Amino acid sequence: MIASIVNKNDIRIYRILEMVPGLLTWIFLTSPIWLGIFQPQAIVYVLTFLTVYWSFLAFRHTYGLFVGYRNYVKDMAINWAEECKKLNFSALPDKATLPSSLEDIRHFVLVPAVSEPESVLRGCIESLLNQTFPSKQTVLVISVEERGADVIIPCVETILQGRKNQFHKVLIYTHPAGIVGEAIGVAGANRTWGAKHAVAELKSLGENLRNYIFSTFDSDHVLNPQFLSRLTHLYLTTDRRDNHYYSTAVHLFNNNLWRVPMLMRIEANAVTLGSLSDWGVTSGSEKDTFAAYSMSLQTLMDADYWDVQLGVDDTIVYWRAYFARNGDFEGKPHYIPYSADAVEGKNFLDSHIALYKQLLRWGWGTIDFPLSVKEFMRNGKIPMVKKLKWMIKHFQKRVILVNMVFLITFGFSLVTMVNPYVKQSNFAYSLPDIMSAILTVTLVCLIPGAYFRIKLSSEMPKNWHFIRKLFTVVFEGPLIMLNLLTYSFFPWVEAQTRMLLGKRMKDLYHTPKRG
């Protein structure tokens, strides 16, 4: 019944759902004003709740860091290539999707490229050649945007000169510009082009695609030598392996971490620590894909690759696989890292502009709300509990977390601005002191955050003066608050507001790599 209504009114329902995140955000953001006038007691309770909730999340984040870092140390201490060799294939789960031996496993590694310098591409390709898992069992697929093909393809050929035969195969494709209906500036269309053509070529060569583990990495990703060995072991030992995606919990930005301005470094470290902590305390059923991820090649094909019409690719492929598996699809983490480039512009100002544009593109990821909810309405095979959990997760991620720090910081001032009498009321008189006390206690969480940041980061440059090093260690923690009120707020609200107003983002910003 509901599915037929959705099918008949697809465009209208989708447009309504597009408006929901932005509408909720602006209702939430302006609540100190309208509740401050009509129901001041209610907004005082809301602000108190947000402060307590923020403190809970801070301590939860800290606990997740301890768990995640412990798992990281444990994973890094194991020789995963040797562990793969020890596997008894007769005892492994899910025989229907299991290759017959370790030698039959193939890795399908897809790297999209646009206009990256040779040093960036070299780091990525060299890291694939230096894996402890045999590179002879890896198919390297490079999909190049047409506008950069004249430079990128000769560059790849130079890097691989005399070494192509070290891979099982190297397949290079050029993604044409201007294909009708494709979003511009996002890797999803490029990835789809390369993946589909590579799958077709492998089929024509008689390859058994059932043996393939698919992974996609950005061109600046430098993999730890154990990455593919750990992924192989995790994939082979996971039951119902087609119903999972596989991801590292440790996304590092050590390629250029100490070369970028401080706010770029803070944002990069926030991604690193946030992911590590999240995987430490969150079930894989509540997390979608990000940046670098893997799944069976069969699952990617069943999901029909990426959505080429949308300006988002990292999370949308998760939802396509999720619905292809009728909701029976979740993440499996490991803790072997890769390292990427932090956002870096041509100069100090350009770096800050580039970061804003990248986060605006990430903020457009809220498009997963209308897409997923519309499919929830269509798909009766997904349990209602799962649908509700994801709806709550969407609301928490897209509305509460984006706006919480702004409201905690400025909410009470906005209330008293529109209703000065609130200060004199019994229920609000002590609120600023209570909020201040709770937030002060929460500051203790900056200490373990700084510790794990140092443990995971590459060593500071030796030529830095001691004072500069001390300043970096001491002040980058507190400056997270500045980041939360700027880069973690404005681009996300802008993206949701654009969607609310029906302004499409089809020509998206590609973050340049400096090498």
pLDDT (tens digit, 9 = 90+) per residue, 418-457? 988 777 776 666 777 777 888 888 888 888 998 999 999 9
pLDDT (tens digit, 9 = 90+) per residue, 390-405? 999 999 999 999 999 9
Q: What span, in angstroms and rounded, lies between the C-alpha atoms of 289 and 311?
A: 15
pLDDT (tens digit, 9 = 90+) per residue, 221-276? 999 999 999 999 999 999 999 999 999 999 999 999 999 999 999 999 999 999 99
Give the pLDDT confidence score for residue 171 in this predicted structure: 97
Q: What span, in angstroms and rounded, lies between the C-alpha atoms of 135 and 132?
A: 8
Q: What span, in angstroms and rounded, lies between the C-alpha atoms of 171 and 294?
A: 19
Give the global pTM.
0.93
Give the pLDDT confidence score for residue 508 in this predicted structure: 61
Q: How far is CA 185 from the centre of its chain?
A: 17
The pLDDT of residue 515 is above 80: no
Side chain identity, residue 167: F
**CB neighbour burial string for 402-414, b if at least 16 within 10 angstroms, e if fewer:** bbbbbbbeebbeb
Is 423 within the bounds of a domain? no
Count CA within 13 A, CB hemisphere, residue 219. 27
CATH code (residue 315): 3.90.550.10
pLDDT (tens digit, 9 = 90+) per residue, 62-72? 999 999 999 99
Domain span holding position 332: 100-261+284-350
pLDDT (tens digit, 9 = 90+) per residue, 261-285? 999 999 999 999 999 999 999 877 7
Q: What span, in angstroms and rounded, lies between the C-alpha atoms of 67 and 69?
A: 6
Is 345 within the bounds of a domain? yes
DSSP letter at 471 equals: H
pLDDT (tens digit, 9 = 90+) per residue, 140-192? 999 999 998 999 999 999 999 989 999 999 999 999 988 888 877 678 899 99
Q: In the chain, pLDDT over 90 holds for what percent of residues?
A: 73
Q: How far is CA 445 from the centre of its chain?
A: 23
Q: Phi and psi at residue 303, in whole multiples of 5°? A: -80, -5
**CB neighbour burial string for 103-132, b if at least 16 within 10 angstroms, e if fewer:** eebbbbbbbbbbbbbeebbbbbbebbeebb
Arithmetic mean of pLDDT, 361-386: 90
Is 500 within the bounds of a domain? no
Across 193-207, 309-323, 476-490, least confident range: 309-323
The pLDDT of residue 1 is above 70: no
Q: What span, in angstroms and rounded, lies between the C-alpha atoms of 193 and 355?
A: 27
Q: Residue 127's pLDDT band (boundaries 50, 70, 90)?
A: very high
Arithmetic mean of pLDDT, 334-361: 94
Give the pLDDT confidence score for residue 511 in this predicted structure: 67
Q: Residue 509's pLDDT band (boundaries 50, 70, 90)?
A: low
Side chain identity, residue 217: F
The pLDDT of residue 111 is above 90: yes
Q: Residue 488's pLDDT band (boundaries 50, 70, 90)?
A: very high
Is 110 within the bounds of a domain? yes
Side chain identity, residue 327: G
Arithmetic mean of pLDDT, 27-36: 95
The pLDDT of residue 312 is above 80: no
Identify the CA nearest to 363 among candidates 314, 412, 326, 330.
Answer: 314
Q: Residue 481's pLDDT band (boundaries 50, 70, 90)?
A: confident
Q: First and final CA of the chain: distance in angstroms? A: 54
Q: What span, in angstroms and rounded, lies between the C-alpha atoms of 125 and 116?
A: 13
Is 182 within the bounds of a domain? yes
The total number of structural domains in the chain stands at: 1
Q: Is the dihedral of CA 406, 409, 415, 416 positive or negative?
A: negative
Arithmetic mean of pLDDT, 398-414: 93
Give the pLDDT confidence score for residue 479 in this predicted structure: 87
Contact in structure between 48 and 431 (CB atoms under 8 Å): yes
DSSP letter at 145 equals: E
Q: Residue 507's pLDDT band (boundaries 50, 70, 90)?
A: low
Question: Edge-to-edge strands of the sheet including 106-113?
Answer: 169-175, 138-145, 106-113, 212-216, 293-296, 244-248, 330-334
Is 254 within the bounds of a domain? yes
Q: Report the mean per-residue pLDDT for the chain.
A: 91
Is 377 within the bounds of a domain? no
Q: How many residues does the chain have?
A: 515
Judged by DSSP in three states, 45 sits in: helix
Q: What span, in angstroms and rounded, lies between the C-alpha atoms of 281 and 295?
A: 22
Q: What span, in angstroms and rounded, lies between the C-alpha atoms of 438 and 401?
A: 18
State the DSSP H helix or E strand holding residue 118, giving kind and residue range, or none if neither. helix 118-129
Q: Residue 309's pLDDT band (boundaries 50, 70, 90)?
A: confident
Is 170 within the bounds of a domain? yes
